[in-house]
Every structure is written in structure tokens, then in C-alpha cells.
Amino acid sequence: MGARDTTIPEVLRGTLDLLILQALSWGPAHGYAVARWIENATGDALAIGEGTLYPALHRLEERGWVAASWGASENNRQAKFYSLTRRGRAQRRVEADEWRRYAAAIFAALEAPALK
């Protein structure tokens, strides 16, 4: 377990779930597509340790936030496609709002004037 933790940039540890939910918010996708999206969207935050994506996906599935089904990929291979469930959609909104508030607070703090 410890090995996995070191492969994820510290800041992303709690946010991988949110990134996945965000990736799926535009429609069903297989794991590789999710990885590519994160790669592009975050400036390759998962550069080493893409593998951690899959336990995270499966855990989300277990919680009922995403659903999975096997289907044909763009190159016509069997791939496991994930999509958000209704609960997953709600969860994405909640987590995104939380992050925005958190980030805004940190940002505001960073911009704040010095102590008097």
C-alpha cells in the first residue's frame, strides 16, 4: 500500500477520485481514455503510476458512483467502459464545489497582504 502512495503526487492523493469523476462527466470512457484525459488536463500528473487509476476506478464502481460495462473501443477492441451513475454525478458536483472553495481560500490567502 505504501508503494502506491509514493507514486501519486501528494496533492493529487485525495483528488484522483474527483479527476476520474470529472473525466467521465463528458460521457462514458474506458480507463485508458480517462488516463489520457488526466494526462492532458493536469500536465501529466500521473506520469509515473497510471496503474493507480484502476483500483480507484474499481473503488468508485464499488461505491456505486460509476458503472462499468464491456464494449468495443475506437479501434474495435473489447474494453471496459465506465460511466457516471446519478449518484456519481452528484458526488462530482459536491467534490468540485469543495475543491473550488478550498482552492479559492488558499489562493486568497496567498494573495493576502502581510500581517500588520
Partner 1 sequence: MPRWTRFRRLFGLEPAADVDAELHFHVEMRVRELIECGETPERARLLALQRFGDYEQARIECVAINERRKRDMQRTEFITELRQDIGYAFRMLRRTPAFTLAALLTLALGIGANSAIFSVVHGVLLESLPYRDAERLHHLQMLYPDGTRYSALSAPDFMSLRQDTQVFEQIEAFGIQTFSLTGHGEPLEIEGGQVTVGLFDLLGFEIPIGRGFNADENRPGSGGVTVLGHGFWQRTFGGDRNVVGRTLILSGRPYTVIGVLAEGAQLPNAVDLYAPLEFTASFDANTAQGRRGEFLAALARARAGASTEQIDADLRRIGSELQTRFQQTNAALTFTSMPLQTMIVGDVRRPLLVLLGAVGFVLLVACANVANLLLARGSARQGELAVRSALGAGRPRLVRQLITEAMVLGLAGGVLGLGLAYLGTGALIAARPADLPRLDEIGLDRTVVFFTLGAALITGLVFGMVPALQATNEHLLRGLQESSRAGAGGRRTHRLRSALVVAEMALAVILLTGSGLLIRSFIELTRVNPGFQPEGAIAVRVTLQGELYKNGDQVRNRVAEIEDRLRGLPGVVAVGTGSILPLGGLGALNDFAVQGAPPPPPDVNAEIAVASVTPDYFKAIGTPLQRGRLFTNLDHAKSPPVALLNEAAVRRWFPKEDPIGKNVLSGGPREVVGIVRDVLQRNPGQPAAPQMFLPYTQRTNRTIRFILRAQGDALALAPAVRDQIRTLDPNLPLADVVPLQEMVARSIARPRFYTSLLTLFAAVALALSATGIFGVMSYTVAQQSKEIGIRIALGAKTTDVLRGVVGRALALAGIGVGVGLITALALGRVIRNQLFGVDVFDPVTVVGVIAVLITSAALASLLPARRAATIDPIAAFRQT
Contact positions vs partner 1 (CB under 8 A) = 3-4, 7, 30-32, 35, 47-52, 54-55, 58-59, 61-62, 64, 67-70, 73, 75, 77-80, 85
Q: Which is nearer to partner 1, 22 or 52 (CB)?
A: 52
Task: Report the C-alpha gap between 70 and 73 in whole angstroms.
Answer: 9
Q: Strand runs (DSSP E) across the chain, as ranges?
A: 29-30, 66-72, 78-84
| Cα distance between residue 55 and residue 4, in whole Å | 10
The nearest distance, CB 7 to partner 1, in angstroms, is 5
Query: Which ranges of 9-66 would DSSP assign to H, the alpha helix?
Result: 16-24, 31-42, 53-63
Q: Nearest distance from residue 19's CB to partner 1, in Å?
A: 16
- Beta carbon of residue 96, minimum distance to partner 1 (angstroms, whole number): 23
Q: Which is nearer to partner 1, 44 or 97 (CB)?
A: 44
